[in-house]
Structure 1
């Protein structure tokens, strides 16, 4: 039996970590996927990659243009997912933006709001919508017969939600909020058989980080592994947390940072 017999919904799926996650779900046997992002061209590319790894006609991947900061668009996204596939079993909330790289006195309220509205509020809206849907579902069977859950939510946070760095108070705060939101929801929904965890990537080689390579170099050199991670390395951790192999993992903040936070 596949580890992923259910429906996967991934936000930020047009590129980077979320794109790698969507493709990995398809590669590992998930045949029903919902891809969300504001970038329609990027979503189309992700659909093409899914066909390449799963085979023509082997996986259904619908693309839904979505702004995760809009409660109405997030609600419409989940309504579309349920209309198409009947349920949502693995929700990966990966839409986000980078830091403005400014200290607090240089950061405008608009810059602060943009970072937090996308990284925190957007994650909260999509996680909230996933939980509401999962509460209405029966648990799926698992790969080896252990008790199943109604769904698994994985929120993409950051190593900078655990530790600080210079010139990033708005960003670090937004990701710390995601980690603690995840912990609170894990407590609240354990009794409902819903698992909720977060992944905290370090510096990852994606289209979003590549233009900022010079700014990120100090962070790369601090980590013992002294390199950027890959989107696939983060996706592998997301898929583990989504799967029934992680059946006793709840409220975790899984760090994928090459050792940055142990220094």
Structure 2
């Protein structure tokens, strides 16, 4: 499978637009997109700086929104493709990674919770807006996933990952590969009737 790799420090419209343009130049069109951008900066509101707040929103919310905007712009221009069975047509599908923190709150992560909830709102809004153009947009909200980000939570913020894990019906943390499977599934033709909604791979944490 051919692939393109890009990296940049800050999300800027020109960087994202260039990524999409180069992708289309290489592959001819953009059928699927998974926007996975996020940083975790915990902290109570009364102790949180406006600079950290802006940084969180710049990456977690604006970064994903810029990607979605560029992806939608490209997909709208494309001719729809018929499914293998010929029953429906699609111009493309987008999956945005939000978080379980978008569906339930944690008192030591007001900024993070807000940024991820915002992702769900513009995901659903654009999912409704572009459904008639045969573009699907959904959000994936992982629970506690075994990634390096978990190690970034300071002990003094009373976040006990073990206790959070116990809240999950499956009794364990999720794996990045399991979230990846959800992303692939939700943009695939197997979910052709799914749009403007959320999928929560969280081991039963929200029950």
Does TM, normalized by the shorter one, top 0.5? yes
Partner residue, 1:257 = 202
| Shift in CA distance, 168/213, structure 1 to aligned 2, threshold 3 Å | closer
The answer to whether residue 174 in structure 2 is matched with residue 232 in structure 1 is: no
Q: Please point out which of 125, 128, 135 is paired with 2:69.
A: 128
Count how many residue pairs are aligned between Structure 1 and Structure 2. Answer: 203
> Helix, strand or coil: the match of 2:3?
strand
Deviation at 1:243?
A: 0.6
CA contact (8 A) 1:68 1:95 kept: no
Q: Please point out which of 143, 153, 162 is paired with 1:217.
A: 162
CA contact (8 A) 1:159 1:202 kept: yes
Q: Distance in 2 between matches of 1:198 and 1:78?
A: 20
Deviation at 1:242?
A: 0.6
Deviations 1:131-155 (A, max 9, x none): 0000011122323322121000000
Q: List, as ranges, runs of 4+ consecutive aligned residues in structure 1 with deviation greater than 3 Å.
A: 210-215
Deviation at 1:211?
A: 5.1
Gaps of 5+ in 1: 1-58
Q: Distance in 2 between matches of 1:183 and 1:221?
A: 30
1:1-263 equivalences under 5 Å are 59-67=1-9, 69-98=11-40, 100-210=41-151, 212=153, 215=159, 216-262=161-207
> Helix, strand or coil: the match of 2:206?
helix
> Helix, strand or coil: the match of 1:205?
coil
Higher RCO structure (Cα 8 Å, ≥6 apart): 2
Q: CA RMSD in A?
A: 1.6
Deviation at 1:66?
A: 3.3
The normalised TM-score by structure 2 is: 0.93
Deviations 1:98-122 (A, max 9, x none): 1x22110111001111111100000
Q: Distance in 2 between matches of 1:209 and 1:148?
A: 40
Q: Distance in 2 between matches of 1:221 and 1:90?
A: 35
Deviation at 1:213?
A: 9.5
Q: Distance in 2 between matches of 1:221 and 1:77?
A: 40
